[in-house]
């Protein structure tokens, strides 16, 4: 059985790797999504419950090239959807479309009519038993059953956000691109509301990101799984949590308000004891950390804005790499998410760091850049 996992464009390989780690499924990446081959439905449930880099999970019914809406009608005639939608099961149609030829407002009701013609099922827009999903990316169309429901990139712990822009799915992927492992000493010197350290702690402790929101998934409402003991499934997954792990994760920031927000969010996430918090200016990091004691520096540092003079930004970047040269181990990594990268590359070069990897990632319609630096030997 095949599934489709939607992700942020630019981190498809991270999502594919995470899916393989969670389920051992075979994966294939495409722009903005991953197709995977699962062994059973529990694999779908597990991805919904645990994946930190995924936005949505679909059970895939069919995939094809699309030119017109009628192509969907022909496919619906051919595919077997009775076990998901029939005259006893209400449904709604939802979509994600990246193609100017199609609009959700016109396509969704039209696809709904196609399904009614085949199944005699009734529509329920407010509380459907099943959500039929149409995913169109350029000329590729995928039809599926929505197992996840809302955006899996939304975290319940993000109550105190401040001005932070980084999304949890991108924060987790930034950590993975940096090569973060549970045994690593990790520092985020500009933690803001704590998204990067919290995602690191959740990953290190194998703590499900949806631990406190087990009732959010649409697969719980599917008639096909009526009578299934989901309590037993969640109980088995939660036994994998390892809160005894000795994590070395530090959330630092120059702002008291940011540190307080990060602490509150970490507490809500259930992993506050796995993170150390420090109100520190970057220039004082060598007082807190011993020489060559940190494995990874992962952060979304200050960005160019009308409120930040260029000289102040240059100083912040210089201080970051000056301190990184001292506290990072020889094989240490600095991984940063940037809106504009020119100035920070100059600071990295000044303190003998070379650019190892550079990739673009999308957050909604905004394109950001991930930069990974290592020490020059």
Q: What is the CATH number of the domain that holds 51?
A: 3.30.2130.30
Residue 311, domain member (yes or no): yes
| Residue 369, CA distances (Å) to 8, 10, 18, 287, 353 in order | 13, 9, 21, 30, 17
Mean pLDDT (the chain) is 95
Whether the per-residue pLDDT at 306 is higher than 80: the answer is no
Whether the per-residue pLDDT at 248 is higher than 90: the answer is yes
Beta-carbon contacts of 235 under 8 Å, excluding residues fewer than 6 positions away, are: none
**pLDDT score of 160:** 87
Same domain, 345 and 258: yes
pLDDT digits (tens, 9 = 90+) for 54-71: 999 999 999 999 999 999
| CATH number of domain containing 196 | 3.40.50.150
For β-strands 185-188 and 294-299, DSSP reports them as: parallel
| Residue 216, CA distances (Å) to 49, 127, 220 in order | 9, 13, 8
Whether the per-residue pLDDT at 197 is higher than 80: the answer is yes
**pLDDT score of 221:** 95
Same domain, 256 and 117: no
- The mean per-residue pLDDT over the stretch 108-114 comes to 96
Cβ proximity of 109 and 73 under 8 Å? no
**pLDDT score of 312:** 85
Same domain, 173 and 52: no
Whether the per-residue pLDDT at 311 is higher than 90: the answer is no
**pLDDT score of 164:** 73
pLDDT digits (tens, 9 = 90+) for 171-189: 999 999 999 999 999 999 9
Residue 268, domain member (yes or no): yes
Same domain, 196 and 71: no
Largest distance between two CA atoms of the chain: 71
Same domain, 81 and 173: no
Tokens of 33: 């999504």
Residue 113 sits in which domain range?
Answer: 2-146
DSSP for 242-290, written as a single string: -TTS--EEEEEES-HHHHHHHHHHHHHHT-GGGEEEEE--GGGHHHHS-
Q: How many CB atoms lie within 10 A of CB 185?
A: 18
Taking the C-alpha atoms of residue 249 and residue 195, their distance in angstroms, rounded to an integer, is 12
> Measuring CA to CA, which residue among 52, 59, 5 is closest to residue 32?
5
pLDDT digits (tens, 9 = 90+) for 268-277: 999 999 999 9
Cβ proximity of 193 and 164 under 8 Å? yes
Same domain, 57 and 138: yes
Same domain, 52 and 92: yes
Same domain, 113 and 187: no
**pLDDT score of 363:** 93
pLDDT digits (tens, 9 = 90+) for 278-290: 999 999 999 999 9
Residue 225, domain member (yes or no): no
Same domain, 362 and 298: yes
Taking the C-alpha atoms of residue 233 and residue 254, their distance in angstroms, rounded to an integer, is 43
Residue 231, domain member (yes or no): no
Same domain, 252 and 329: yes
Work out the percent of the chain whose per-residue pLDDT is above 70: 99
**pLDDT score of 193:** 95
Whether the per-residue pLDDT at 200 is higher than 90: the answer is yes
The structure tokens 């959700």 sit at 104
Tokens of 56: 């949505």
Residue 220, domain member (yes or no): no
**pLDDT score of 61:** 97
Beta-carbon contacts of 125 under 8 Å, excluding residues fewer than 6 positions away, are: 92
pLDDT digits (tens, 9 = 90+) for 20-32: 999 999 999 999 9
Residue 40, domain member (yes or no): yes
The H-or-E segment that residue 132 falls in is: strand 130-137
In this structure, what DSSP letter does residue 342 have?
H
Whether the per-residue pLDDT at 309 is higher than 90: the answer is no
Taking the C-alpha atoms of residue 28 and residue 60, their distance in angstroms, rounded to an integer, is 14
Same domain, 98 and 182: no
pLDDT digits (tens, 9 = 90+) for 256-267: 999 999 999 999
Number of domains present in the structure of the chain:
2
The structure tokens 């005639």 sit at 77
Same domain, 46 and 117: yes
Residue 363, domain member (yes or no): yes
Whether the per-residue pLDDT at 324 is higher than 80: the answer is yes
Residue 318, domain member (yes or no): yes
């Amino acid at each position: 059985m095949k599934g489709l996992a939607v992700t942020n464009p630019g981190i498809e390989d991270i999502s594919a790797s995470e899916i393989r780690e969670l389920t051992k499924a075979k994966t294939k990446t495409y722009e903005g999504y991953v197709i995977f081959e699962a062994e059973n439905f529990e694999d779908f449930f597990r991805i919904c419950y645990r994946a930190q880099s995924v936005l949505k999970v679909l059970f895939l019914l069919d995939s094809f090239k699309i030119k017109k809406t009628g192509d969907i009608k022909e496919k619906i005639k051919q595919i077997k959807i009775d076990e998901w939608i029939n005259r006893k099961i209400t449904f709604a149609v939802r979509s994600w479309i990246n193609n100017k030829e199609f609009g959700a407002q016109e396509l969704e009701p039209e696809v709904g009519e196609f399904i009614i013609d085949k199944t005699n099922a009734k529509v329920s827009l407010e509380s459907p038993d099943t959500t039929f999903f149409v995913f169109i990316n350029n000329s590729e169309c995928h039809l599926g059953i929505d197992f996840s429901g809302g955006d899996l990139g939304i975290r319940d712990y993000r109550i105190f956000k401040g001005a932070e822009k980084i999304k949890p799915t991108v924060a987790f992927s930034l950590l993975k691109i940096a090569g973060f492992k549970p045994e690593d000493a990790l520092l985020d010197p500009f933690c803001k509301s704590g998204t990067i350290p919290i995602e690191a702690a959740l990953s290190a402790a194998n703590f499900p990101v949806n631990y406190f929101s087990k009732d959010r998934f649409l697969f719980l409402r599917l008639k096909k799984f009526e009578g299934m003991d989901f309590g037993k499934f969640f109980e088995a997954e939660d036994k994998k949590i390892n809160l005894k792990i000795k994590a070395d994760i530090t959330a630092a920031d120059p702002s008291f308000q940011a540190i307080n927000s990060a602490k509150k969010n970490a507490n809500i996430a259930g992993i506050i004891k796995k993170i150390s918090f420090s109100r520190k200016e970057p220039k004082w990091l060598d007082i807190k950390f011993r020489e060559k004691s940190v494995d990874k520096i992962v952060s979304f540092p200050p960005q160019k804005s009308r409120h930040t003079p260029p000289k102040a930004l240059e100083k912040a970047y210089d201080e970051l790499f000056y301190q990184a040269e001292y506290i990072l181990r020889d094989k240490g990594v600095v991984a940063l998410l940037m809106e504009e990268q020119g100035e920070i590359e100059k600071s990295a070069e000044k303190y003998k760091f070379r650019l190892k990897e550079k990739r673009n990632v999308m957050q909604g319609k905004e394109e950001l850049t991930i930069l990974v630096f290592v020490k020059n030997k």
